[in-house]
């Protein structure tokens, strides 16, 4: 009976310690502005748009409707001009509008991403313009575009292979055969 009582007390002490540790770790994770990452720059006129925030993942997002006709690239140009001087660099090929055809509509998508100078954060920009279409066979007969362009801006922790790169030329792994041309 005494051993059982000691076992219950030990389990209660360990459980209380575990709960205390989890509370401390939770406070450290959500501990203020630094855990949210760098400031998310808002497109002019959208400063009051509320952001969706997931602080322990380092993820923030906001969206709005750009009241400009398709194929505007004003938001892209704004972010390019804002981020490049701060050390961010654009990743991937030169962005352009790409058409995604569906049965009764088409979605034109513009997407690009910037990586922070320390390679810890990335900003993803997506712009979508939708048009209702009527088809004559496989060809589009008419296209009626919805006004405005939906814009989604997301700041998140980077999850790409560039995190592992040192920035310079990497040495090949041991045992790699170097294939050089011989005379």
* b/e code 42-74 from CB counts within 10 Å (16+ = b): bbeeeeeeeeeeeeeebbbebebebeeebebbe
DSSP state of 45: T
pLDDT in tens, 24-57: 766 665 544 445 678 889 999 998 899 988 877 7
Are 79 and 41 in contact, with CB atoms under 8 Å apart? yes
Do residues 10 and 16 make contact, with C-beta atoms less than 8 angstroms apart?
no
- In this predicted structure, the answer to whether residue 128 has a pLDDT above a threshold of 90 is yes
33 or 8, greater pLDDT:
8
163 pLDDT band (50/70/90 cuts)? Answer: low
pLDDT at position 42 = 93
Position 159 confidence tier, pLDDT thresholds 50, 70, 90: confident
pTM of the model as a whole: 0.68
């Amino acid at each position: 009976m005494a051993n059982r009582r000691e076992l219950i007390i030990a389990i209660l002490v360990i459980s209380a310690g575990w709960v205390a540790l989890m509370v401390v770790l939770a406070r450290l994770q959500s501990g203020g502005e630094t855990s949210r990452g760098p400031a998310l720059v808002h497109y002019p006129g959208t400063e009051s748009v509320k952001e969706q925030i997931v602080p322990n993942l380092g993820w923030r997002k906001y969206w709005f409707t750009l009241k400009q006709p398709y194929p505007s690239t004003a938001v892209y140009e704004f972010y390019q001009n804002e981020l490049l001087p701060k050390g961010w660099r654009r990743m991937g090929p030169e962005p352009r509008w790409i058409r995604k055809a569906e049965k009764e509509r088409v979605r034109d998508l513009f997407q690009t991403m910037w990586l922070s100078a320390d390679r810890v954060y990335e900003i993803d920009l997506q712009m979508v313009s939708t048009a209702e279409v009527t088809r004559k066979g496989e060809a589009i007969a008419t296209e009626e575009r919805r006004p405005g362009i939906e814009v989604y801006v997301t700041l998140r922790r980077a999850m790409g292979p560039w995190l592992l790169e040192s920035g310079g030329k990497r040495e090949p792994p041991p045992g790699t055969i170097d294939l050089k041309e011989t005379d």
